[in-house]
Amino acid sequence: MSVPHLRALEEALARRGWRVVVVHPGDGYRVSATWELQRGRRDGSLLIDFDGLGPDGDVCLPLEKSYGCQVRGQLGDGLYFRRPRRSRELWEHELAEFIRSLDNPGPD
């Protein structure tokens, strides 16, 4: 279900100058994978962890089945991969808010 979400997220990141430089493997439990982001000549990277804890807590879902993500070390809400057909406007609003939050990261 999240392949379109992943594509939309990556496109929205690119429009704000962010690029995925590395896709790190997850932890095999809670995190499906981690995107390492950089923008321009900015020093340092941001890490986005993708939720992967399975419904029974006994398996880690692959990135393509992730149901949300958050910036590592950043307080606040992450991004939930809603069903776009049921709540497209809400999804687009939340995606835009999430991308804007990357410009003003909160305290670690």
Task: Note the pLDDT tens digit of each residue in 59-101.
Answer: 999 999 999 999 998 877 799 987 766 677 888 899 999 999 8
- Structure-model confidence comparison of residues 106 and 96, the more confident one: 96
pTM of the entire structure?
0.88
CA-closest candidate to residue 70, choices 90, 56, 49: 49
The pLDDT of residue 108 is 47
**Is the confidence at residue 107, as pLDDT, over 60?**
no
CA–CA distance from 18 to each of 15, 32, 100 (Å)?
7, 21, 11
- Out of 2.40.160, 3.40.1000, 3.30.460, 3.30.310, the CATH code matching 3-99 is 3.30.310
Task: Note the pLDDT tens digit of each residue in 29-53.
Answer: 999 999 999 998 767 899 999 999 9
The pLDDT of residue 1 is 53
- What are the E-state strand segments in 40-98? 46-51, 68-71, 79-80
